[in-house]
Structure 1
Amino acid sequence: MSPDVPEFLVRPAQPEDEEALLPLAVELATSFVPERVAFARSLAHVLADDAATVLVATAVEPAVEPAGRTPVVGYVHVLVHPAFHANGNVGWVEEVVVAPQFRGSGCGRLLLEAAGEWARGAGAVYVALATRRAGEFYRALGFEESAVYFKKPS
């Protein structure tokens, strides 16, 4: 890899990643503001759920954190669930975000590839997601527009 292109590693998130993940979740959110306590509770729930995972991308360079870990620069939250129409499980990318300074570096592509591998390993016949800001990015990765997403606050 050339020196000006960052290298990333993808690994499952750990509880100690919470501090690095929360600001990324805030960066992603447009309709809600993630709150620390609710975020911590949700992260713990997802990490304990065999039907879901959070994968993090760490930058191998430029720096290693004091604890010897490389900094988290992005994450993807993906889950699988059975769907009648698919005759099996489908994967759903709930969230994916990369720190602004690493966008366009291949980090998002790497996260989504890892999410797809994880979902296929959990029996998913396809992976889907909703977006309103990154359609071109997902099309470039082979996703096809399939439906319109609606939500209604409780």
Structure 2
Amino acid sequence: MTSGELVLRKAEKSDADEIFALAREFALTFRPERAPFDAAFPRLLENEDTLLIVATLDGVVRGYLLGFSHLTLFANGPVAWVEEAMIDSGYRRHGIGRRLLVEFETWARSRGAGYVAMATRRAAEFYGALKYEVAGTYYRKMCK
């Protein structure tokens, strides 16, 4: 990792190419395609219940986090869900993921979320170090 300053900020339209490249690295089950990405990206940027943040180093996007806040009935209000969190493979274990997640937690609290959650089979040690607990099993059924 270079010695430049790590900057966290909301994603911008000009970040699309770099975020798309990271999303393709992230995906195991799906292979992101550019046309659906380009259709979704501006909508995510405009959605007030969505936070899409990037971590840049020397002006280059090295990680991103996409998360949502939504109302629930069971939790007496909103909860926040991390949908995607990806760090460039050459920049992992340098605190970028931690900084992105802490920023998302701050945003979630500002929206009154009862908790932050995500579904993942990766990085259990990382999430455990940040005081996340295993809280359930993830089920899915493909729609297509």
Asked if these proteins are the same fold (TM beyond 0.5), I'd say: yes
User: 1: distance between equivalents of 2:12 and 2:112?
Assistant: 23
Look up the equivalent residue of 1:118 and give its one-letter code. W
Q: Quote the RMSD (CA, aligned, Å).
A: 1.4
State the shift of 1:7 in Å. Answer: 3.7
Equivalent residue for 2:99? Answer: 110
Match of 1:119 among 108, 117, 128: 108
Equivalent residue for 1:25? Answer: 23
What are the equivalent positions in structure 2 for 1:4-153 lying under 5 Å apart? Answer: 7-60=5-58, 70-153=59-142
The runs of 5 or more residues in structure 1 that have no matched partner are 61-69
CA contact under 8 A between 1:8 and 1:59: conserved in structure 2? yes
State the shift of 1:9 in Å. Answer: 1.1
Look up the equivalent residue of 2:76 and give its one-letter code. N
- SS of 2:114's equivalent in the other structure is strand
Aligned length: 143
State the shift of 1:138 in Å. Answer: 0.5
Following TM superposition, the consecutive aligned residue runs of length 4 or more in structure 1 with deviations greater than 2 angstroms are: 3-7
- Structure 1 residues 85 and 14, CA gap change in structure 2 (3 angstroms): same
Q: TM-score, normalised by structure 1?
A: 0.89
State the shift of 1:148 in Å. Answer: 0.6
- SS of 1:125's equivalent in the other structure is coil
The runs of 5 or more residues in structure 2 that have no matched partner are none
